[in-house]
Amino acid sequence: MKTVDNYNFAGQKALIRVDFNVPLDAQYNITDDTRIRAALPTINKVLKDGGSVILMSHLGRPKEGPAEKFSLKHVVNHLSKLLNRPVAFASDCIGDVAKNASSALKPGEILLLENLRFYKQEEKGDVDFAKQLSELGTFYINDAFGTAHRAHASTAVIAQFFPNNKCFGYVMSGEIASVNNVLNSAEKPFTAIMGGAKVSDKILILEQLINKADNIIIGGGMAFTFVKAQGGQIGKSLVEEDKLETALNILKTAKEKGVNIYIPVDSVVADNFSNEANKQTIDIKAIPDGWMGLDIGPKTEKIYAEVIANSKTILWNGPMGVFEMSSFEQGTKSVAEAIVAATKKGAFSLIGGGDSVAAINKYKFANDVSYVSTGGGALLEYIESGSLPGIEAIEK
Ligand code: AMP
């Protein structure tokens, strides 16, 4: 893997694709700067070598060109504070404004370009737009794992203009190493924990994991499609009627391949989708009409905790229940605790996909697991397909 550690950036103008797609409040304050902090090591490596840095990113989903609320200028002051250095800003990511700002850049200086998605060409992967961006720097670094599954101008197409001067930043190389650790050199037993709302989002990934994992633990809304497919009564729980057969096929394939699939045995059910709803814990196959399962129950928690405790490699994607509501968070919390305990005993644990990351952060366990992925969709696509456009573009 070609990373920034393989190069000395003295005298280079490193064009770094970062992921500064951070949440902003109504006054444009950054409410979570995790992604900015994640990019600092790569930026600092280039600066320390004596190079200069040109940062490019997207922010939000602007539809019709430039818009105040999606401007990356809102990030400048905070970035400058984190780096303890001035950060220059180019109010356009291409054209004379960007060119002049880049030409003026001296070693040790930093320039942030305006939102790439103010141009439709970015998401279209336009070659000419990518070429214009490429002319701003002498070396290309991709450090935006969160968009590595997109073949956009700045994430993939641009790499062709740097045939010998391109590499991964630390965010990218860390993500790639951790997912490879799970998929290609997992110490056994390998347990994949899958949750979240829908089976349909997770079919491809389940099909891949059946070839790799020893145990697959299922929770969240998607579990009810499996329960119903096996003849259970699930009341008004979330279900995808058109995926009942898929669920049965997944179970069948798993059996053929000797993979243990765990479906919840009990559930915390509610009479409506609310934290204040009436609730009870019952057999997951016998949920009365009018009730819906919103969490796994204590018997399931115990079974899952045991499987996790005996695992050497753990991948977790998706909550076990509606963990955003305190009444239905216990199952997700107990799985998180089991992962932390297994990690302490030496297991490698990778947490990925938006909501399991949110859960790990909610319980303040981010430092107690092996790796928390920053790229939800990108991680899932990497597991599904074994590669990503942003990775291939560097490796080509
Ligand atoms: P996903 O984005 O597919 O990982 O789904 C995460 C969402 O699934 C979270 O917002 C959870 O609240 C929701 N969820 C988890 N379990 C259930 C459930 N039993 N019923 C409805 N929603 C659920």
pLDDT in tens, 157-186: 999 999 999 999 999 999 999 999 999 999
Q: What distance in Å separates the CA atoms of residue 396 and residue 382, rounded to the nearest whole number?
A: 17
pLDDT at 374: 84
Q: Is 219 a catalytic site residue?
A: no
Say what the pLDDT of residue 376 is: 82
Q: What is the mean pLDDT of the chain?
A: 96
- What is the whole-number distance in angstroms between the Cα of residue 96 and the centre of ligand 1? 47
Q: Is the pLDDT of residue 42 over 90?
A: yes
| Active site (annotated) includes residue 150 | no
pLDDT tens-digit readout, 125-148:
999 999 999 999 999 999 999 999
Q: How far is CA 212 from CA 78, 181, 336, 384, in A?
A: 42, 12, 22, 12
> Which residue minimizes the CA distance to atom 1 of ligand 1?
196
Structure tokens at 365: 């366990």
C-alpha distances (whole Å) from 112 to each of 77, 151, 227 are 11, 22, 51
Ligand 1 lining (C-beta closer than 6 Å):
196-198, 201, 220-221, 238, 293-294, 318-319, 321-322, 324, 353-355
β-strand partners of 167 = 141
What pLDDT band is residue 22 in, cutting at 50, 70 and 90? very high
Q: State yes or no: pLDDT of 303 exceeds 80.
A: yes
Q: What is the pLDDT of residues 57-94, one digit of tens each?
A: 999 999 999 999 999 999 999 999 999 999 999 999 99
The active-site residue, picked from 198, 279, 285, 299, is 198
Q: What is the mean pLDDT of residues 203-222?
A: 95
Q: ω into residue 189 within 30 of 0, thus cis? A: yes
Annotated catalytic residue, options 108, 212, 299, 354: 354
Is 198 part of the annotated catalytic residue set?
yes
Centroid of ligand 1 to alpha carbon of 84 (angstroms): 40
Q: Residue 246 C-alpha to ligand 1 middle, in angstroms?
A: 19
Supply 67's token pair: 């818009």
CA neighbor of 223 nearest in space, from 275, 278, 262: 262
Residue 240's pLDDT band (boundaries 50, 70, 90)? very high
Whole-number Å distance between alpha carbons of 229 and 211: 22
Q: Is 35 a catalytic residue?
A: yes
Helix axes 298-309, 330-344, angle to 10 degrees: 20
Q: How far is the CA of 275 from the centre of ligand 1 (A)?
A: 14
Name the residue of 202, 238, 263 to mutate for ligand 1: max ligand atoms within 8 A of Cβ.
238
Distances 101 to 18, 28, 292 between C-alpha atoms, Å: 18, 24, 58
Considering the candidates 13, 17, 35, 166, report the single residue annotated as catalytic.
Answer: 35
Confidence of residue 341 (pLDDT cuts 50, 70, 90): very high
At 198-207, the pLDDT tens digits run: 888 898 899 9
**Is-above-0.95 flag for pTM?**
no
Tell me the CA–centroid distance for residue 281 and ligand 1, in Å.
Answer: 18
